[in-house]
Amino acid sequence: MRTKPGRLEQFHFTKVAVHIDSCVVSGAEYRNSNEDVVLTRDILYPALRQVIQTHAALGVRVVFKPQSVDDCSFVKLDKVDLDKHVQFISGGDLEHIMQTQLSTEFDTAAKGPLWRVLVLDAHIVLFSFHHGIGDGLSGLGFHTALLRALSSPSSESDAPESVVAVPDLELTPPIESAPQPVHTHFMDSNRFSATELARFHSACRSNNATITSALYVLAVAAISEVIGETQYRTLSGAVPISLRGLSGTPSEAFSCEASVYNAFPHIDNAFSWEMAREIFIWELWELLPGHFGQKRPYTFALSNLGVFDGGDTTRAWRVNGMWFGQSDAYVGAAIKLNVVGLLNGGLTVCLTSGLSAVGDAMFDDIANRIGELFRALV
């Protein structure tokens, strides 16, 4: 197993070490065809064992010295005790719970894995992980593996023991080896039904736009309207873009492979299909810019993970809902739109922001306006 983190991995380890980032959270609602079957310890632990024994990133810790990034290294764990890293709770507001998870850093000195799982009301699984071991798509990879393990339990993993032996696996190579061509305090989400998503997708196709580009313009319109009269003429928008298509890394693998598209759209509270058709010329991200004491680099960032296949009623287990959030609250975009869809279950847009970025009233207004503009198009 490689022990040296890549540049992006070191970048994220550094951001967390100096307390300007925390983690990524990916949530999914699991349902069984038998309504009496829920996610208990006896059902979940054997499935998690399969997932851990499939993904090397779930069985490592990191040794990190902020004063000497070159000394940063991955260390394979011999075992993972699920009782220490999986929590079952009942009741509570999902958005508040995700907000709390996003505000909780990982203690790399604790010599444990760089992830944790929270199970809410025996159905919703929130998987929180250090950005140093994976990007947003890695969260979908976790839920893909967990859904598969629940649906096809291994004969070797029937027992629900909490201690999982970590096998010898190889971490995904860092993106630079491929061939070349924290704290969040606000959380809100808009969930759109499968019917609304189908209509929105149809409108995008008929106007030669993509779902991501249309959501980008929705964000511009919503933020512009809430800002109102201002001396400024443009916003600064960012869209993280996966590099896995260049590296060939499988979608389910844990890896940090993201670039970013950024532009300066004019402040305009009217939605424009013309703008949605014209944006997104791909550019490479410049790592480690000097952000402290400077303007935030972006007004907003839109991260669209695409569509997750959560199965249907013909399967024993299926996913009925998805959520996605990320931190980077201090020096990242003031507002983040975290988007994930279900193949047969609609779309969720989770908004996150930092306390020092926007006021809570403005944040709520923007979240509400995005929902209104979306539904006005369908």
Nearest-5° Cα angle at 189, 186 to 193 = 180
Structure tokens at 214: 């249309």
Residue that the structure tokens 């590296």 belong to: 247
Question: What confidence score (pLDDT) does residue 182 get?
Answer: 46
Which stretch of 104-113, 151-160, 216-225 has the lowest confidence by average pLDDT?
151-160
Question: What confidence score (pLDDT) does residue 45 get?
Answer: 96
Tell me the per-residue pLDDT of 21-53, one tens digit each, with 9 for 90 and over: 789 999 999 999 999 999 999 999 999 999 999
Question: In the predicted model, what is the mean pLDDT of residues 331-341?
Answer: 84
Q: Is the pLDDT of residue 65 over 80?
A: no
Residues in the chain: 378
Q: Are 39 and 119 in contact (CB under 8 A)?
A: yes
Residue that the structure tokens 């995904």 belong to: 172
Q: Is the pLDDT of residue 229 over 80?
A: yes
**What band does 328 get if pLDDT is binned at 50, 70 and 90?**
low
Question: What confidence score (pLDDT) does residue 294 get?
Answer: 62
CA–CA distance, 317 with 175 (Å, rounded to integer): 34
Q: Is the pLDDT of residue 285 over 60?
A: no
Please name the helix (run of DSSP H) or strand (run of DSSP E) that holds residue 214, with its range, or none. Answer: helix 211-227
Residue that the structure tokens 């929130």 belong to: 126
160: three-class secondary structure by DSSP:
coil
- What is the sign, positive or negative, of the torsion defined by CA atoms of 94, 95, 99, 102? positive
Q: Is the pLDDT of residue 164 over 90?
A: yes
CA distances from 99 to 20, 214, 322 (A): 15, 26, 15
Beta-sheet pairing, 163-165 with 124-129: unpaired
Higher pLDDT, 177 or 235: 235
Which stretch of 8-22, 175-189, 296-310 has the lowest confidence by average pLDDT?
175-189
Cα 363 to chain centroid distance, Å, stands at: 20
Q: Could you give the angle at which helices 211-227 and 360-377 cross, rounded to 10 degrees?
A: 130
Q: Which residues of 52-89 are buried (b: 16+ CB within 10 A; e: fewer)?
A: bbbbbbbbbbbebeeeeeeebebeebeebebeebbeee
CA–CA distance, 335 with 150 (Å, rounded to integer): 35
Which stretch of 110-124, 181-195, 318-332 has the lowest confidence by average pLDDT?
181-195
Mean pLDDT score of the chain: 85
Please name the helix (run of DSSP H) or strand (run of DSSP E) that holds residue 173, with its range, or none. Answer: none
Q: Is the pLDDT of residue 311 over 60?
A: yes
**What band does 143 get if pLDDT is binned at 50, 70 and 90?**
very high
Q: Is 350 left (phi over 0), alpha (psi -120 to 50) or beta?
A: beta
Residue that the structure tokens 């008929």 belong to: 206
Question: In the predicted model, what is the mean pLDDT of residues 243-257?
Answer: 81
Q: Is the pLDDT of residue 150 over 50?
A: yes
Which stretch of 15-19, 97-101, 190-194 has the lowest confidence by average pLDDT?
15-19
338: three-class secondary structure by DSSP:
strand
DSSP line for 282-341:
--PPPSS---TTS--S-SEEEEEEEEE----TTSSEEEEEEEEEE--TTTS-SEEEEEEE
Specify burial of residue 134 (Cβ count, 10 A radius: 0-12, 13-18, 19+): buried
Structure tokens at 287: 């790592």
Question: What confidence score (pLDDT) does residue 287 get?
Answer: 37
Q: Is 284 left (phi over 0), alpha (psi -120 to 50) or beta?
A: beta
Residue that the structure tokens 């009741």 belong to: 91
Other beta carbons within 10 angstroms of residue 111's beta carbon come to: 11
Which stretch of 11-25, 174-188, 354-368 has the lowest confidence by average pLDDT?
174-188
Question: In the predicted model, what is the mean pLDDT of residues 104-122?
Answer: 92
Q: Are 89 and 123 in contact (CB under 8 A)?
A: no
Please name the helix (run of DSSP H) or strand (run of DSSP E) that holds residue 325, with its range, or none. Answer: strand 317-326
Question: What confidence score (pLDDT) does residue 68 get?
Answer: 62
CA–CA distance, 95 with 290 (Å, rounded to integer): 31
Q: Is the pLDDT of residue 60 over 50?
A: yes
Question: What confidence score (pLDDT) does residue 189 get?
Answer: 79
The amino acid at 19: H
CA–CA distance, 196 with 184 (Å, rounded to integer): 29
Tell me the per-residue pLDDT of 347-363, one tens digit each, with 9 for 90 and over: 999 988 876 677 778 88
